[in-house]
Each structure stands twice: as structure tokens, then as C-alpha cells.
Structure 1
């Protein structure tokens, strides 16, 4: 059981760590690019140092070649003058310098190989960084566009929610007003019934009673009376 709990805790920690990495992905990527640029800068500095050192050894080799050429002329001159022993000494010196020259040339060749290898690595890293930066620019643009779209969607959702809420409020107001109107009409009806006006209204509507009916009766009576009176 304890083992399972520890495993669950490690899984949770890994999920949390991955969540942090995901939320900071662009920031981490920018830092990794800066780290790569720093490594590239140090590589270029090292390349400059190697090229400088290579030049020093190349200059030494050139100096040795010049010295050997001068000694060769001196040996020939000694032989021309019959100074064979002197010519031998010069020749021995030439051999020693020739060994030094070959050593310098070997060093220069090693520098050339290292320089070419480092140059290739720098070119490759430069290309990778350039492509990576281009892709990061696209990713950042996409990220910005998606954030803008999310904001618009959120605002639109909020507007729809507000509109729905407003419509619901309007319907509730209408229902309340209709209820109030019904209640007031019911109150008027009850008051009319209590005062008897409702009954009079119904009788009048039926043509029973009322001032108009009394006037008709009076007029009819007067006409009948007039007709009954002899001339």
C-alpha cells in the first residue's frame, strides 16, 4: 500500500512538473535558444583562438623555411671556397631546422583540421538556430492569435450570457405586470359587485332599467294620453 501511495505521489509530482513546463513552454524555449547562442558564441571565440594560434605556428614555419634557404646558400658558398667542414656544420644546422619545420607544419595541419571541424559545427548550429528562431516566431504568432481568438470567444460568450439574462429579466417583468393588471381588474370587479354597480351595468346592457328606458316609457305614455283626448 505504501509503495502505491509513493508511486501516486511521484505521478502527481510529475504531472505538476509537466503542467509547469507546458505553461512556461515559450519562456523555456526562449531561454534554451539563449543558452544555445551563448554556446555558439563561445565556440566562435574558440575558433578565433585556434585560428590565431595556427597563424603563429604558420609564421614560425615560414621563418624556418627562410632560415633553411639562407643556410643552404651559405653551405653552397662554403663548398665553393673549399670550406667543407664549415659546409658540414651548416648542413647539420639545416637538418635540425628541417626537423623543427616539419614539427611546425604538423602542428599547423592539426590546427587546420580542428578549425575546419569547428567551422562546420558552427555553421550547422547557426543554421539550426536560424530555423529554430523562424519556427519560434511562427509559434509565437500562432499563440498570440489563439489568445486573441479565445478572448473574443470569451467576450462573445459573455455577451450572449448577458443578453439571455436580460431577456429573462424582461419576461419576468412582463409576467409581473400582467399579474398586477389581473389583480387590479379582480379588485375592480369585486368592488363593483359590492356596490351594486355591476348589476346595474348588466341590466343596462340588457336594456332593462336605466334613464334611457324611463324616458321611452314617459314618451310613450304622453303619446297615448294625447291620442285618448278627444279633439
Structure 2
């Protein structure tokens, strides 16, 4: 008997909870839409910041390429003057800048991929938000119509409360899944193995990260000889 009583109490509690959700479905939906709107606005700002950072990276890459060109010209002039020491210093600087350019190009590629992915998520979220807003307007209109119908004593219009409840729960769940997936992607994107790669390169494992100055000097001498 005691077990049946507990079961009955749980059933009554569940019904009371469902009744409460049904009665407050539209205000709850409206607040969740407002929360979703703020989240999308935040995501749009994040995309804008990522675009600005990528543009900054592009500018730094262009500046590094210009410095490499200038250093190569000056290194050739130093070789022509027989100043081997100064030319070697220029070659070392060129090697460092070339490594920086290579790293910048990788960063730009990662930025572009991340920006495209974030834009896609924002566009999809905005489309879902517009659908929810249309659903909310329909639900509010339906509620007012049903109130008018009840007050007039007519009971022919079917209620949409169950459909709206299903829509609300489905969209809320989808939003949670998208938010979780976005957070996981951001955490994955934040993992940077550059330090490990640098250690391995210094230990002689794999190709060096920076070009050998001797190879650069040989290349510059070849250019100088061809120009002569």
C-alpha cells in the first residue's frame, strides 16, 4: 500500500509540473528566445574579433615579407663589399623572418577555417532563432484566439499547447547540443603543439624550423653571381 501511495504522489507531482509548464509555456519561450538572442549577438562579436585578429596577422605577414626583401637586398650589397660577417647576420635575420612567415601562414589558415566555421554556426543559429520567433508569435496569437473563443462559449478551436511544448523542448535541446559542440571545438582549437614541435626540432627530430643561414648565403651568392 505504501508503495502505491508513493507512486500516486509522484504521478500527482508530475502532472502538477506539466500543468505549470503548460500554463507558463509562452512566457518561458519568450525568455528563452531573449537569452538565445543575446547568445547569438555574443557569437557575432566573437566572429568579428576573430576577423580583426586575422587581418592583423595578415598585416604582420606582409610586413615580414617586406623586411625579408629589404634584408636580401642589403645582404647582397654586403657580399659585394666583401663584408661576410654583416651578410651572415642578415642571413640569420632572414631565416628567422622566413620561419615567422611560415608560422603566420599556418595561423592565417587556421583563422580562416575557424572564422568560416563560426560564421556557419551563427547563420544556422540565426535561422533557428527566426523560426522560434515566428513560433512564439503564432503561439501568442493562438492563445489570444483561444481566450476569445472560450469567452464566447465556443470550443471548436484546437489547443496548440502540446505542440508548443514539443517545439520548445526540441529547440532548447538542439541549442544545448550546438552550444556543447561549439565549446568542444573551441577547446580543440586552443590546443597548440608548437612548443613540442620546437623541442623536437631542436633535438634533431625532423626538419629544422628555421632555414640554415649557410643555405641562404649560398642562395644570395648565386643571385649575386647571376646578376654579375
TM interval, short-chain normalised = 0.5 to 0.7
Please give the root-mean-square deviation of Cα atoms over the aligned residues, in Å.
1.7
Give structure 2 stretches of 5+ with no counterpart: 155-228
Q: Counterpart of 1:136?
A: 136
Instruction: Say which SS state the counterpart of residue 82 (structure 1) adopts.
Output: coil
CA distance in 1, matches of 2:69, 2:8: 80
Once the two structures are superposed, the pairs formed by residues 79-228 of structure 1 within 5 Å of their partners are 79-153=79-153
CA drift of 1:74 comes to 1.0
Greater helix content: 1
Q: Counterpart of 2:168?
A: none
Aligned length: 154
Give structure 1 stretches of 5+ with no counterpart: 155-231
CA drift of 1:61 comes to 1.4
Q: Counterpart of 1:171?
A: none
More contact order relative to length (CA 8 Å, sep ≥ 6) = 2
CA drift of 1:132 comes to 1.7
Cα deviation digits, residues 42-89 of structure 1 (max 9, x gap): 211222222222222222212211111111111222233333332222
CA distance in 1, matches of 2:106, 2:97: 14
CA distance in 2, matches of 1:7, 1:36: 37
Q: Counterpart of 1:58?
A: 58
Moved >6 Å (runs of 4+) = none
CA distance in 1, matches of 2:45, 2:118: 11
CA distance in 2, matches of 1:11, 1:153: 32
Structure exhibiting the larger radius of gyration computed from Cα positions: 1
When normalised by structure 1's length, the TM-score is: 0.62
